[in-house]
Amino acid sequence: MGLVGFETRKAFTKRLTRRANRLGIQNVELIRGDARKLLPVLFEPKSISAVHVQFPDPWWKKRHQRRRLIDGYFVTLVHNLLAPGGLVFLRTDVLDYGRTMMETFEDGTHRFENVAGQGSFIDDDGLGVPSNRERRYLAAGTPVYRLVYKSSNF
Ligand SMILES: C[S@@+](CC[C@H](N)C(=O)[O-])C[C@H]1O[C@@H](n2cnc3c(N)ncnc32)[C@H](O)[C@@H]1O
């Protein structure tokens, strides 16, 4: 399985690339740039088996929230790129953002099935791999909200 990761910040992309090289991980490609712009350029429709978004920037202030990664445009983008039965894994520590993600995926525009049932977060998304950030949250008792959506993109 090949993994492609996107990160807008140069220093973070370099750091991640160094870490992947150090760990000998060969099935990952890290690309510096905006996932929203690059995904439709780099991938054919219905060619991706899963999309993972972990702890996207929350943009707390109301007037900044239009900068959030996950919105109607992103859901349509992902819907077009996922193969039938493809999965979307989302994690956030920000309940309000988690609810917005849920509303956006479940607003009926596209056929996404919430694996936990409509309107519900999932306790265990089955991935079992916390990032360093998530390890910190879990150690501090900060709740993490997880969602898994399955595309019925036939
Ligand atoms: C809050 S951090 C979380 C990083 C990591 N997923 C984790 O769990 O620790 C969000 C990261 O997403 C990057 N980012 C924000 N918008 C992006 C976009 N449109 N495309 C690619 N990366 C983006 C930011 O630069 C930042 O490093």
pLDDT score at 129: 84
Cα 111 to averaged position of ligand 1 atoms, centre (Å)? 26
Residue 47, both tokens: 């060619």
Q: CATH 3.40.50.150: which residues of the chain? A: 34-151
pTM above 0.85, yes or no: yes
Q: What is the pLDDT of residues 68-89, one digit of tens each?
A: 999 999 999 999 999 999 999 9
What is the number of the ligand 1 atom nearest to the C-alpha of 54? 6
Q: Whose CA is nearest to atom 3 of ligand 1?
A: 55
- Could you please state the CATH topology (level 3) that the domain comprising 34-151 is classified under: Rossmann fold (3.40.50)
- Provide the 3-class DSSP secondary structure of residue 97: helix
Reduced DSSP (H G I as helix, E B as strand, rest coil) percent helix, strand, coil of the chain, to 5:
35, 25, 40
Residue 27, both tokens: 């099935």
- Active-site positions? 57
